[in-house]
Structure 1
Amino acid sequence: MSTSPLIPRRAAAQLDAALADTRVVLVTGARQCGKSTLVRVVAGDRLAERRDLDRAQDRAAALADPVGFVDSTGLLAIDEIQRVPGLLLAIKAAVDEDPRPGRYLLTGSSRLFGLVAAPDALPGRMETVELWPFSQGELDGQPDGFIDAVFTLGPDLRHESTVTRADYASRIVRGGLPEAAARADPRRRERFLDAYVQALIDRDVQQVADIQRKGQLRTLVRLLAARSATIIAANSLESALGLSRPTVTRYLQALEEIFLVKRIPGWSRNLGTRATATPKLIFVDSGIAANETATNARALIRPGAPFGPLLESFVLSELCRQLTWSQQQADLSHYRDHSKFEVDAVLENRAGQVVGIEVKAASAVGPADFRGLRRLADRLGDDFIAGIVLYTGTSTLPFGDRLRAIPVSALWQTPAPALS
């Protein structure tokens, strides 16, 4: 029986570096995004033992004897650590007694310190490596260097593309979850994604929140998919779900804790304002969002289909992936002011330099598509590196000082500049 070739992950280098100087390393991310495979590949011969807390026998042993369960002279890998968060105290004691780097390699499908039962055990002792579903570059063997390139080259970045609107639609619907991306038959992919979301609701959500009404939670997921890449406020969902605002807020938090959705904060130079600005919500995987809206690749490019919102969510999730490995350390947010000027994505690096990105589903753009980017440029002056409209056309086009239209495929087909 033939097997699919192993796709290299960008996170491997980061994980390898963390094991070299950190006592505990946590690989965290959505279920079935490839965490266990990454652990096996990177740990290699260093791995003394591997235990999986999804297995009943391993979980029972961990609960009965936490200290004995984590006792190991070599590198110990423990999958799905959120299943027995009490193990963190035993791990803390072990690494405080023996502070060698590379003692424990953990994986988790929930944000560990968001767990109700997780003790605050490992600050200063643990590094977290966030793993997303496959990026487009990982799937295609392309460089995924857009973020580093745009901060280095600014408006001098150039890209030509042969990717069509139909190709983009196919990529959105495919997503990046390894099991879904490997299924060529769309109906088989749909069945997998249906079961995947239901399993998250039935099992994983219970680990992070006390959810009593799973039916409403399932409805919430579909509502969020229909509003993908839009500003989401809990009060806008109350009437549709028949739930109180605090309950909706708690449900949204739970979906983020299990890596189904991600909230993109509002941008402001005022940190207090940024913290309170209404976030924009995207799905961690575009294939899930498309499936929840019952949209296939062919239907997605028809008039009236949600191609625009799903393309924007797709772009934002690709940016999120790249930020986990890019040399340029930057934060991702969105911009909207009281005059209704908007920018879909704002990337700001540690030096306060900003790249603004708009996403357009059209294959042609005009000056009006740069309205929000011009406002952002006026506000920032020299700190504004470039304003980019990512669109489904084929060529890079100038639209004024530091403003460019660039094909969406630049995200994964652009190499990062060589380090000097």
Structure 2
Amino acid sequence: MVYNLRQCQNKLLDLKKKDRGRMIALTGARQVGKTTLAKNCFPELPILSMDSPLERETYLRYTPAQWQANYPRVILDEVQKAPDLFETIKSCYDRYPEMEFILLGSSQFLLMKGIRESLAGRAAIQNLYPYSLLEIAKKGDNRSLLEELLLNPDSAAQNLQTRPPDEHLKDAYALASKHWEALEQFGGMPALHQPGWDDTDRYEWLEDYSLAYLQRDLQDLAKLDRLEPFVRAQKIAALRTAQPINYSALARAADISAPTAKNFIHYLEISYQVKMIPSWTRNHEKRLSKMPKLHFLDAGVRRSILKKRGILDGHEFESTVASEIIKIVDTHRLPWQLHHLRTSDGREIDLLLEHEKGYIAIECKMTDHATRHEARHFKDLSEILDKPLLLNLVVSKDTEIQQLSDAGVPTYNISAIQLFS
């Protein structure tokens, strides 16, 4: 498999040089490239898989002294499959300062449960997501425009003002546009972006992936006796991407109870299929009780659930944009929190990014020609918020970076391709 540089690779290499890098937990959905990344970052380390029951039983019998003698520096793949091993890893870590572990796991819940119970304060954690736009373009060591804006929020508007007006005419933009279309249609799973694959291969791979998720990952998490209720709930959730989730309504549609519906969505979230974005209010406690907005993290996986192959709709576009933002914020541990906002008069802000210095508001519009009308929901938004509103962005398919408001908070249109390239 051709290896595309991942955006977290340099961060992992830097972390490994520090004392807190003696134990690194790399977690993410199945097939996002955890093992491949670990091999490329640490080619000198042996890899032991806990996926095989026979191998797992062998390693579970090792004493700390045997681990130190045979594998003083090691990568443990699918380590959440061997929960009894965590106590041994803890003993090795505490007893032998020279020992180093890279823990790989495709279940956030099971891996983090083991870390919480046995390895708290010892493991440095890094999440890995499907390819971002930059990673598809083999530019994983570059910064996107969005990352620049988030790293320097005080100069965000100035950064947009100084972008070259003919940026969308460059060859690089045309190539980025092609990569963005692939991301929208098939998602970012690394296998799908290998040379020699055609669309039929990609569709069939995604169908197999969804089936494997139901038969393996879900069984690890939930131990369900019957998959049919979950499959129904999963499809309904996929239909409602980029929408606030009402668990009672979801339960009625899937013919299950509301608590079961909430549990199913939780399973989707802890297995990296979806992300729940909380609603914003001034009262921080109420943010936890108001309806969150659901976003599927990978467009291709969502489309395979629905068996959809046509053009995108507005909700899919919004979730693709949200997913790219989530990848950037979480991968680089940027000090921003994501919310969505619905005002008392019915206006909605798709994404509200919160920093200690203020907010960036984002509206996602799948239009080729952005106008001031697309920015109408930003009106008087700063009067609602409890910190300064730093920037308003309409993220669209319009290739021209343009200012949509002449007064007050800087308001710009920018294409998704420019924002994430």
Give the TM-score taking structure 1 as reference length.
Answer: 0.87
Q: Give yes or no for contact 1:225–1:292 (8 Å, CA) kept in 2.
A: yes
Q: Give yes or no for contact 1:334–1:344 (8 Å, CA) kept in 2.
A: yes
Alignment of 1:94-133 (within 5 A): 94-100=92-98, 103-112=100-109, 120-133=117-130
Match of 1:11 in 2: 8
Greater displacement, 391-400 / 91-100: 91-100
Return the letter of the residue paired with 1:145: S
- Cα 1:122–1:169, aligned 2, differ >3 Å: closer, same or farther? same
How far apart, in 2, do the equivalents of 1:244 and 1:69 lie?
Answer: 49
Q: Give yes or no for contact 2:28–2:127 (8 Å, CA) kept in 1.
A: yes
SS at match of 2:327: helix
How far apart, in 2, do the equivalents of 1:267 and 1:386 lie?
Answer: 17
Q: Give yes or no for contact 2:6–2:37 (8 Å, CA) kept in 1.
A: yes
Alignment of 1:6-405 (within 5 A): 6-20=3-17, 21-22=19-20, 23-45=22-44, 47=45, 49-65=46-62, 67=64, 70-71=67-68, 74-100=72-98, 103-112=100-109, 120-142=117-139, 143-151=142-150, 152=152, 153-158=155-160, 160-161=167-168, 168-182=180-194, 184-296=197-309, 299-300=310-311, 306-326=312-332, 328-349=334-355, 351-380=356-385, 383-400=388-405, 401=408, 402-405=410-413
- Cα 1:272–1:282, aligned 2, differ >3 Å: closer, same or farther? same
SS at match of 1:44: coil
Q: Aligned-pair distance for 1:241?
A: 1.4
Match of 1:417 in 2: none
How far apart, in 1, do the equivalents of 2:36 and 2:414 lie?
Answer: 35
How far apart, in 2, do the equivalents of 1:219 and 1:128 lie?
Answer: 33
- Cα 1:119–1:347, aligned 2, differ >3 Å: closer, same or farther? closer
Q: Aligned-pair distance for 1:291?
A: 2.6
Return the letter of the residue paired with 2:190: P
Q: Give yes or no for contact 1:161–1:393 (8 Å, CA) kept in 2.
A: no
Greater displacement, 325-334 / 262-271: 325-334
Greater displacement, 264-273 / 278-287: 264-273
Number of residue equivalences: 399
How far apart, in 1, do the equivalents of 2:256 and 2:63 lie?
Answer: 39
Return the letter of the residue paired with 2:186: R
How far apart, in 1, do the equivalents of 2:214 and 2:158 lie?
Answer: 46
Task: Please list the CA deviations of residues 316-353 of structure 1 after superposition, one character each: whole Å capped at 9, or x if unmatched.
Answer: 1111111134474212221223322211112122x242
Q: Aligned-pair distance for 1:39?
A: 0.6
How far apart, in 2, do the equivalents of 1:58 and 1:383 lie?
Answer: 56
Superposition CA RMSD, Å: 2.5
Identity %: 25
Return the letter of the residue paired with 2:245: I
- Cα 1:267–1:381, aligned 2, differ >3 Å: closer, same or farther? closer
Task: Please list the CA deviations of residues 98-136 of structure 1 after superposition, one character each: whole Å capped at 9, or x if unmatched.
Answer: 345x71100010114577787611111111111001111
How far apart, in 1, do the equivalents of 2:402 and 2:271 lie?
Answer: 40
- Cα 1:56–1:334, aligned 2, differ >3 Å: closer, same or farther? same
SS at match of 1:354: strand
How far apart, in 2, do the equivalents of 1:144 and 1:407 lie?
Answer: 17
How far apart, in 2, do the equivalents of 1:208 and 1:173 lie?
Answer: 28
Q: Aligned-pair distance for 1:144?
A: 4.2
SS at match of 1:161: helix
How far apart, in 2, do the equivalents of 1:377 and 1:168 lie?
Answer: 32
Return the letter of the residue paired with 2:391: A
Return the letter of the residue paired with 2:369: A
Gaps of 5+ in 1: 301-305, 414-420
Return the letter of the residue paired with 1:84: A
Q: Aligned-pair distance for 1:369?
A: 2.1
Q: Give yes or no for contact 1:28–1:35 (8 Å, CA) kept in 2.
A: yes
1:412 to 389, 401, 420: 420
How far apart, in 1, do the equivalents of 2:377 and 2:304 lie?
Answer: 31
- Cα 1:382–1:278, aligned 2, differ >3 Å: closer, same or farther? closer
- Cα 1:393–1:173, aligned 2, differ >3 Å: closer, same or farther? same
How far apart, in 1, do the equivalents of 2:124 and 2:401 lie?
Answer: 39
How far apart, in 2, do the equivalents of 1:115 and 1:44 lie?
Answer: 25
Match of 1:418 in 2: none
How far apart, in 2, do the equivalents of 1:95 and 1:405 lie?
Answer: 51
SS at match of 2:379: helix
Task: Please list the CA deviations of residues 346-404 of structure 1 after superposition, one character each: whole Å capped at 9, or x if unmatched.
Answer: 2122x242111111001122333223333432334862110100010110111223111
How far apart, in 2, do the equivalents of 1:357 and 1:379 lie?
Answer: 15
How far apart, in 1, do the equivalents of 2:386 and 2:255 lie?
Answer: 46
- Cα 1:119–1:139, aligned 2, differ >3 Å: closer, same or farther? closer
